[in-house]
Structure 1
Amino acid sequence: MKKTLKTIANWLNIDCGVYGDTVVTGVSIDTRTIQKGDLFIPFRGEQVNGHQYVAKAFENGAAATLWLKDEPNPPSDVPVLFVDDSELALQEMARQYRNEHKAIFIGITGSNGKTSSKDILASSLSPYYKVQKTIGNLNNQLGLPITILSLDEDTEIAVLEMGMSGFGEIEFLSTLARPHYAVITNIGEAHMQDLGSREGIAKAKFEIIKGLDEHGVLFYDGDEPLLQNLVGKEPNLNVESFGFQKGNSLVVSNIVMTEKGSRFDVRGELNGEFFIPVLGKHQVKNALNAMLISKSLGLRDDQIHFGIEQAQLTDMRMQLINSSNGILFLNDAYNAAPTSMSAAIQFMQTTNLRPEKWLVLGDMLELGENEKQFHESIADVIDEAAIQKVCLFGPRMQWLYEKLHNKFANENIIHTNDDYEQITQYIKQYANEDSLILLKGSRGMRLETILDSFK
């Protein structure tokens, strides 16, 4: 973005004072990461008032700042735009910039796999287009506007991740971004405590069609009956489905894992054998929407082949890490819900990467009143004949421990509520160069902390 302060003031229907020619090249809400030319946006919260950092923002290169009209002592010698509400101003700026941007916008939501799908799609299209994607977890009512305002004016494809915790949030993000293509990766159990049921989760995710371009296309997990039912109620909606079951627009089969990634066959909108340098059956499924979108954009089959071979995932998504003592870690610790944890465990039980397989599992959060049942259900996924060691971390994993401890010898399973060191020492005592260790838990459990002792 490269706009004068006068243009931004016009977007917000306010006065820019004498600094109308000041050029703004981005926005920031954090002085620690602010870039030269950014418009600083201070928020006033219960604990911190961002206005106290405005001077620091200018020291670090800010070109201008917003300032709440009812906040006292505004600076008088720097470019300032006075607004009633910082969040609404940020969102309106993003809306105006989106309205004039020429890129193809793609919105991605789902219970699991949003970030992986975003990464695979962005990297597979990058050889052919200028692509920008959501950075980190900037996927909510603040993050999405920041992402939109960070788009270069010549960006051709914008891949936007959309997260939520309750009803109405995806609808807001979708109507703000107005995607040409929308993706629903799957329906799991995350945010069950807020949405009540998987049906509620599906309904909330399906809100992504609210802002979909009238000629746009929804790509969705066709193996999910809840999504099939919702799609069936929208006869005028353009849809493409992907999955393992017959009848999808793109069906995947014959998945073979190697040390370098996953080889698989597809039939339907595309046909043939493909390869992606990512591990996991569930990650192959995440690649299918990228392949369908690539096809819709007009890429040839050989270009799609080459594109997905360039796929790169954000750290802590099925990330292989070699330790100094030869242990191989599979770091999938960015987040977890029953669906994604089951998928990771099933991968471990079928892979030939290493002969000895370990599970280090952390609590799954935000599962609501049925969280005990969800943790206990993981026991049905774990095959004690295929898994040699189990380490459970977090108070909720006590429920899984009680289900598993009779299946494993005492020396092969441990549980701790909050002691990373206990698990670290257990790994150091028993693991070796034959060991593959999965780290999987919700973000709040920070299981990647265990890796610090093995770098």
Structure 2
Amino acid sequence: MIRKTLKEIAEMIKVENDISSFADLQIAGASIDTRKIEKGQLFIPFKGQNSDGHRFVEDAIKKGAGAALWQKDVPNPPLHLPILVVEDTLIGLQELSRSYRNELNVKVVGITGSNGKTTTKDMTTNLLAQRYKVQKTEGNYNNHMGLPLTILSLEETTEIAVLEMGMSSKGEIDFLTRLARPEVVIITNIGEAHLQDLGSKEAIAEAKLEIINGLTDDGLIIYLGDEPLLHNKLEAYISSATKKTFGRTRLNDIYPLDIIQEDSGSTYKINLSDVEFFLPVLGTHNVLNALSAMMAAIHYNVPFEDIKAGLAKVRLTNMRMEILQGKHGEKIINDAYNASPTSTQASIELLANLPGYKNKILVLGDMLELGPDEEKYHFDIGKSICGENIDAVFTFGRLGAFIADGAKQVLPAEKVFAFDDKEPLINELKNHVDDETIVLVKASRSIKLEDVVSGLQ
């Protein structure tokens, strides 16, 4: 992590006040949360519409913070404390991280996409860690605040940083990638998330492709070759960068062979090796995510046997294809971290094709930020459910009701249940599960459909 004296910090960013009496004081790391402050960290407060972090500066220093930034237009800075007054604390954080990044001899893998960013980040980190010292974005620190904090957490001895880059509007990834300066970028896919803000999948693709704007000379672009929006735009992209594709079809540089799906994960081979790989994560879509991570590992000369070992150790963040046990012996796939039509369709496909269960139940909730066609997206998801392979569908929420309407086109009405209250949903669901049942639960994050998972345990 960053370790600098206040004098050195003042040489990295513009500081407005006299810090001579604290010049030799050293900070180690940075934080924006006084609840998690650690000894020696630089505390960075933000001035918001409803709250002002400057109120907690003195408390942060009492808790052990080494120093704090202070925004110039906030009155009464406690100058008797180690305070660095800056024009804007957010810009101060960003510029400090930019300066620190420029000092580091670290290679960066940048990851973006509509779905699978965090999963791909975790997989890529595991594979590269077989040969290198690797750090990754922790949690959801993937935006204009989080990514600078992640960079400031990097150790000087870190060889590769795997950085997730998220967005909600155009221009955000451009800023992040120019800050991180990746040597390799991965674009997982283009889905419907952020349609409400960006208006079309074409606009989403353009926003995700901003990640190449910060790519170093002779870098590597890894992208889903099965996605026409990416393929067409990148085919016309002329630079010194190398382009490699992953996907289901043989037209890609790397593609899977002989996928065997079990309830403990997927076994498969690839076109580039005779080694058989096991990924302890459910879903063909996650095999595709793994392919992009494998391509990054190949770029950094990680041998296939090491890649195999790294994949076998993959563990995803909670509520992403998490396998749990219900109190009636049923298996539960908790995929409630987030949802879009693309990711929900992949989860439905997974459940439909999963062997070994006599009773397969979908529990689906609202998918948010889909714009004016949100009701149609939900109806189409319901209509796409394979009635031969799915035994019952439970939905939750206003938009979930449109999934139920679509599902009734392919399943008998008595097998489709729509709720706007979780408690009766859980009670009815319990009547349909036993030790030969598997239940998949998925919805957007704010719907908190993990409550249904808890109700079954």
Task: Name the TM tier (shorter chain).
Answer: over 0.9
Distance 2:268 2:375 in 1: 36
**Paired position in structure 2 for 1:4:** 5
Query: Which of 390, 395, 398 pairs up with 2:398?
Result: 395
TM-score, length-scaled by structure 1: 0.96
Unaligned runs of 5+ in 1: none
Alignment counterpart, residue 351 of structure 1, candidates 349, 354, 357? 354
Whether 1:434 aligns to 2:436 is: yes
Cα contact 1:291–1:308 (8 A) shared by 2 = no
* Per-residue deviation, 1:77: 2.7
Counterpart residue type for residue 250 of structure 2: K
User: What is the correspondence of 1:274-423 to structure 2 with a 5 Å cutoff?
Assistant: 274-405=277-408, 407-417=410-420, 419-423=421-425
CA offsets per residue over residues 98-151 of structure 1, 9 Å max, x none? Answer: 111112111000000001000111122223222111111111111110111111
Q: How many residues align?
A: 453
**Range with bigger deviation, 397-406 or 254-263:** 397-406
Higher mean Cα deviation, 443-452 or 11-20? 11-20
Percent identity, please: 44
Matched, 1:193 2:196: yes
Aligned to 2:156: 153
Q: Are the aligned partners of 1:124 and 1:309 in contact in 2 as well (CA < 8 Å)?
A: no
Q: 1:22 to 1:454 in 2, by over 3 A?
A: farther
User: Which stretch shows the higher mean deviation, 307-316 or 355-364?
Assistant: 307-316
1:86 maps to amino acid:
T
Is 2:30 the counterpart of 1:24?
Answer: no
Deviations 1:23-55 (A, max 9, x none): 111111111111111111111111001111112
1:32 alignment partner, SS class: helix
Q: Residue 30 of structure 2: SS of its match in structure 1?
A: strand
Q: RMSD of aligned C-alpha atoms?
A: 1.4
Provide the C-alpha distance between the structure 2 equivalents of 1:252 and 1:406, rounded to a whole number of angstroms: 33
Instruction: Tell me the equivalent position of 2:246.
Output: 242
Tell me the residue number matched to 2:179: 176
- 2:134–2:162 contact (8 Å) kept in structure 1: yes
1:217 corresponds to: 220
Give how far 1:306 is off. Answer: 1.6
**4+ runs of 1 displaced by more than 4 Å?**
none
Matched residue of 2:309: which SS? helix
The residue type paired with residue 375 of structure 1 is: H
- Aligned residue for 1:320, secondary structure, equals strand
Partner of 1:451: 453
The separation in 2 between residues aligned to 1:238 and 1:449, in whole angstroms, is 45
Which amino acid in 2 is paired with 1:427? L
1:407 Cα deviation after fit: 4.0
Task: Provide the C-alpha distance between the structure 1 equivalents of 2:314 and 2:277, rounded to a whole number of angstroms.
Answer: 12
Please give the alpha-carbon distance, in whole angstroms, between the structure 2 residues aligned to 1:191 and 1:415: 26
Structure 2 partner of 1:165? 168
- Answer whether contact 2:111 2:117 (CA < 8 A) is retained: yes
Give CA-to-partner distance per residue, 1:255-306, whole Å, 9 cap, x none: 11123210112114x4543211111000000000111111110112222222
d(CA) in 2 for partners of 1:239, 1:140: 25
Aligned mates of 1:125, 1:353 — CA distance in 2: 34
1:123 to 100, 123, 126: 126
User: Who is 1:51 aligned against?
Assistant: 54
1:90 to 2:75 alignment: no
The Cα offsets for residues 205-258 of structure 1, whole Å up to 9 and x where unpaired, read as: 001000001121010001111111111111323111101112211011321112
Q: Is 1:353–1:436's contact at 8 Å kept on the other side of the alignment?
A: no
TM-score, length of structure 2 as denominator length: 0.96
Q: Is the 8 A contact 2:275 2:304 kept in 1?
A: no
State the match for 1:101 in structure 2.
104
CA distance in 2, matches of 1:298, 1:420: 49
| Helix, strand or coil at the partner of 1:436 | strand
> Partner of 1:257: helix, strand, or coil?
strand
Per the alignment, do residues 406 and 105 of structure 1 end up closer, same or farther by CA in structure 2, a change over 3 Å counting? closer
1:73 is paired with a residue whose SS is coil
State the secondary structure of the residue aligned to 1:58: helix
The separation in 1 between residues aligned to 2:36 and 2:75, in whole angstroms, is 26
- Secondary structure at the aligned position of 1:35 is classed as coil
Distance 2:11 2:22 in 1: 13
1:75 equivalent among 73, 78, 94: 78
Task: Output the amino acid matched with 1:110.
Answer: G
Alpha-carbon deviations, 1:327-386, whole Å to 9, x = none? Answer: 211011111111100000000000014321110101110111111121111123201221
Please give the alpha-carbon distance, in whole angstroms, between the structure 1 residues aligned to 2:358 and 2:24. 65
Distance 1:55 1:353 in 2: 59
- 2:22 match: secondary structure: coil
The verdict on how the C-alpha distance between 1:295 and 1:274 changes in structure 2, with shifts beyond 3 A counting, is same
Question: The residue matched to 1:87 in structure 2 has which SS?
Answer: helix
Within 2, Cα distance between the matches of 1:423 and 1:27?
44
Report if the CA contact (8 A) 2:127-2:311 is conserved: yes
Determine if contact 1:220/1:242 at 8 Å carries over to the other structure.
yes
Paired residue type of 1:319 = E
Among 258, 266, 270, the residue aligned to 1:266: 270
